[in-house]
Structure 1
């Protein structure tokens, strides 16, 4: 059981400063766009580029970069879960039935010819990124318009913290 002092300390010293940082200068539309951009870029099936991509897009759109990166990090487990569906969608889109393989087939291919296995996996990842690219704008729009009324209710206009 946590004591009230610990709960108050956590809220006062950790959670509230983080929330203030994330809401700094944020209007409900900007916060909704931040969540949509962070989520969509956080699930891109290309590992290792998420942070750079999120930073560039957030800076270009004048969003809160820290909040956008945080959201992209929070949805990264979805990146792993959606890798196979995006790859299957890309394989179907480009009609590359020869790329449909099981884990055992991949392991056998790596044992037989690891360069060919890397080529196949690279190609599967490439078509997964294309499938993600096609679905990114509709997903972002859906998230934006779904979150906008929520943030308008949760963040009253008088509580918006302006940057110093």
Structure 2
């Protein structure tokens, strides 16, 4: 009788482990930086998956990357495995997803958003809205027409 009970317990534990929410391709997951080497952060996203992300994806334009071993970060799971058996991760895509969520919420709440102008293009500027890139027409820079946008 005792052996039958242990088999039932084992079956219950096995079923529980199979039902765990494993991350799917195209989702944003939390991971932990376990090492930094060769210009890349190695991130453990759990479920026996590790991947590499270039350090430049953790930096704002013109700034040094702000990341260290032990940090928890959100990354986008592009693919569970590449040719080397590593998860293919992207910090930039995770930032973009979060930025779009914030923009959709701000739109629904009719709230104002802030961004940083980082480039000039024909007819206006490119603006970083915390991960999402947008176009700001030159005519919308000020309440009065601006003669020299520089």
Query: What TM-score, normalized by structure 1, do the two folds share?
Result: 0.22
Q: Which of 1 and 2 has higher RCO (CA within 8 Å, sep 6+)?
A: 1
Query: What TM-score, normalized by structure 2, do the two folds share?
Result: 0.23
